[in-house]
A and B are shown apart, each in its own frame.
Chain A
Amino acid sequence: MNFWERMYLPAIIKGLGITFKHLFRKKATVRFPEEKRQFSPVFRGLHILNRDEEGRERCTACGLCAVACPAEAITMEAAERKPGEEHLYREEKYAARYEINMLRCIFCGFCEEACPKEAIYMTETFAPANYQRKGFIYGKDDLLIPDPKAKA
């Protein structure tokens, strides 16, 4: 090492220069709660259960999402539609209970792919944080989208 190299000063100044340069660069992060980054259209977020255009539940509890689920997060119980419930459920069989354990879910999207009835979709939102495990068991009242007819 020669004298200049032994001084270390040029190296320190060079390093500080890089640090200062980054202060004026475009930031890699966003200030999350105020500013939200746009999701890609294929983002796999929180699930919803869809209704058809008449507001009837599409899910028929066929169990394909549950069998496709690698984390075994989905469980359901089926029931038969009674006469007079045709405006509620699309097919003669429906999911009386439908539950996703978000603690188990890995958001792989296999359920969405497996669904033959276009009933389950993954949206562009996160599962919100919670202080307790209880809050992560999502039942039908959490997943099902509101009836578009009831709102109008």
Chain B
Amino acid sequence: MAEEKKLFKVTIDNISVEVEPGTTILNAARQIGGDIVPPAMCYYSKLQGSGGKCRTCLVKVSKGSEADPRPMPKLVASCRTTVMDGMEVANITSPEVIEARKGVVEFLLLNHPLDCPVCDQAGECHLQDLSYEHGVSATRYEFKRRTFDKIDLGDHIQLHMTRCILCYRCVFTADQLTEKREHGILGRGEHAEISTYIKESLDNDFIGNVIDVCPVGALTDKTFRFKNRVWFLKPVDAHRDCENPKCCGKTTVWLRGNEVFRVTARKDQYGEVEAFICDTCRFEKKEATDWVIEGPRKISRASVISQGHYVGTVQPKETIEKVLDGRKPKLLMDIHSVSQVNRPDIDLSQIDGPAHSDDFNKKGVQ
């Protein structure tokens, strides 16, 4: 019997949408899009079993369903709650939800060091966005924040456990993408921390994706560490023929001039990667010739990364050579003769890890 599948009608912030049974409230909201989508720190649509940990996506269900119109007694995590027919949900229209989210942000920031000036994730950090939009500017926490030493997870990944919000995304990524999971969460509650057994190095073809799924700066790319701020780089879509059959080879390459500073997967509007990429693409291919560049990556106008990147500009033609009968204008000063920054003899992007004092001093002037 070819029976038509019944769609559930759900109303979120007075906007109705029909979705398939089994959809979560969060995904129903994403089908509508816009401001009413609850923020999510731990839910990741590409990872099975993710969600339900951070509580930022809390919403109020003011009407359970058509059959049982009672409201749900407490706020529910929208990434884990499936829709019912006739359900009515309030997200940004409910002051209760806004207030609860403020509390959640305060909780997430309890142990967060707020070292954004040092952190490489600053500018593309979901916790930054979340606390900017929903948080309060001061903390009421009076105790010492928990601190950890930074740990190297393999050659290319740096773990700053102090910044971690325990979203478990990286654990799911390692579990589902790589053949062997080597890291997990040790301890419980206040003492929980991401770790590998006896700091065993993470060594897998796809383990670099934990950097992309990390919503904060807890897992960062060591080949990019302290090299540049993300908002000074120009993200472009690029691809290469990757030998790895599981890797799509479609990435975002972060350029400064002709230097490839960083390679990441392409992220959609919710900060989730479109397709996972392998570690060879991510860490090894730092030459502009390795990549076929497709064009500039679209970045939301609200992001600091898009500052100074103008769309649809037409550059005026250089007329000076025409006026001077083909002679070149006389250069009054070559900036490299004075400037110590961006020296042509130091390729920061080619240095393996973060630059140190000797990288700058080995050739010539201090």
| Chain A residues close to B by CB (< 8 Å) | 60-64, 66-67, 75-80, 82, 85, 91-93, 96-97, 99, 116-117, 132-134, 137, 139
Indicate whether A99 sits within 8 Å of B339 (C-beta atoms), given known contacts A63-B229, A63-B231, A77-B360.
yes
Most buried by A among B227, B332, B357, B360: B357
B150's nearest neighbour on chain A, judged by CB, is A92
User: How many angstroms between the C-alpha atoms of A57 and B143 in the bound complex?
Assistant: 28
Q: Which residues of B contact A93 (CB under 8 A)?
A: 118, 226, 354
Contact of B354 with A76 in the complex, beta carbons under 8 Å: no
Contact of A76 with B333 in the complex, beta carbons under 8 Å: no
Judged by a CB distance under 8 angstroms, whether B315 is at the interface is no
User: How many angstroms between the C-alpha atoms of A60 and B115 in the bound complex?
Assistant: 10
User: How many angstroms between the C-alpha atoms of A93 and B120 in the bound complex?
Assistant: 10
| Chain B residues close to A by CB (< 8 Å) | 115-118, 122, 225-229, 231-232, 304, 307, 332-333, 335, 337-342, 348, 353-357, 359-360
Q: Which residues of A contact B231 (CB under 8 A)?
A: 63, 67
Contact of B360 with A67 in the complex, beta carbons under 8 Å: no
Contact of A67 with B332 in the complex, beta carbons under 8 Å: no
In the complex, what's the smallest C-beta–C-beta distance from A37 to chain B, in angstroms? 32
In the complex, what's the smallest C-beta–C-beta distance from B67 to chain A, in angstroms? 54
Indicate whether A97 sits within 8 Å of B226 (C-beta atoms), given known contacts A78-B355, A139-B340.
no
Contact of A79 with B118 in the complex, beta carbons under 8 Å: no
Q: Which residues of B contact A96 (CB under 8 A)?
A: 355, 357, 359-360
Indicate whether A82 sits within 8 Å of B122 (C-beta atoms), given known contacts A133-B333, A134-B333.
no
Contact of B118 with A99 in the complex, beta carbons under 8 Å: no
A132's nearest neighbour on chain B, judged by CB, is B333
Indicate whether A60 sits within 8 Å of B118 (C-beta atoms), given known contacts A78-B227, A99-B341, A139-B340.
yes
